[in-house]
Structure 1
Amino acid sequence: MSGDPAGDGHGEAVAQVLLRAHPRCIRAALRWLRGKCPWLPPTWHEWAAEEAFYRTAIQWLTDPSLAHRDPLPYCLTTVRNLLTDHLRSSKPIPTPRDPSLVGAEDQPWARAERIAQEDARLLEEEVIPAIGRMPRTQRRDVLELQSRGADDTAIALDLGISRGQVQSQRARGIPELRQELKRRIRLKEERTRRQRGERYSSE
């Protein structure tokens, strides 16, 4: 009797997919993490890459529909989510007690962390929702995958297109995304002006 719960070789097929994908997923995850958060220790990068692949493997093993899909985009999305959660939970930089450390908040690593936290906030609160409001096209699919941390190779594999097509669709999608962000900013500014007008009139 087969040990495969699906009875159709799903478990064995997925195991082979995951075994082949593991080195590539770990390399891509580490490369992305080192570029996005170089101030975090290498041990955290390694933990996040392996944790992301573990969660990806669980998803692939429990969902038969994923057997023939490349795990890399999902793994990179999971890495991005792990980093976002880590940045959200990070404690603020404490005020140094040692006089020689005064101004530590202005050190390059501290500035880089603040910038990364702001980038993560903007990505979650503005860019990803704006992409979601775009019409459902391949341009939007490319931007969605990129916003989740996938590189051009991963996007091409996930969508079944060439890297050149990925770059072309991104070039066409960015102006559309920019217009959507501008529209969102205008709406927020108009809402703020109305709220101020209502407050002043009530006074």
Structure 2
Amino acid sequence: MQKVSATLHRRFPALRDRIEEITHEALYRTLQTWMSGRMPASRNPLPYMQTTARNLALEAVRSKEHPVDDQGLALLLDEFHRYSNEGLTPLDPLHEIVAPAVAEMKQTQRKMVARHQLQGIDEDTIAATLQVPRQQVRSLASKAARELRDMAEVKPHVRPGHLRKQRRGEEDSGE
């Protein structure tokens, strides 16, 4: 470990705070390799450990991330507490996405079914109000949902598994 640490100190002076950590990681990986049987027991593990340590040091130098010191961590915690105490309200998809989209739909039975469902009215009541069979309400609700999912302002909020797949023969919109 001393030889590997000394080599790293000479070659990577900017990493002096992390050299002990890198050396320990190199030792651990060398031991894992030796225990797994990928390195013969008669082979000297020092060259392998030095190469591993050099690769880890190069990765640490090239990495854009640096370990956070205590002062930086304290600043991050203060900022986190400030934002968490502001009480930001989350997005309400029903009122901020779906309701405006339903309002933009053409005036059809489909829109009426969607609007009633937004209000929490059950299928039987909707069927009685529109004077149509319950099964037709289900069909209209399904078509309304499909229409809503295809709307540009709603589409980014729809899970990929629920987006409509293109059928064969349909032209791609080029987007």
Aligning the two structures, in what range does the TM-score lie when normalised by the shorter sequence?
A: 0.3 to 0.5
TM-score normalised by length of structure 2: 0.36
- In our comparison, the structure showing a higher alpha carbon Rg is 2
Higher relative contact order (CA 8 A, sep 6+): 1
Structure showing the higher helix proportion among its residues: 1
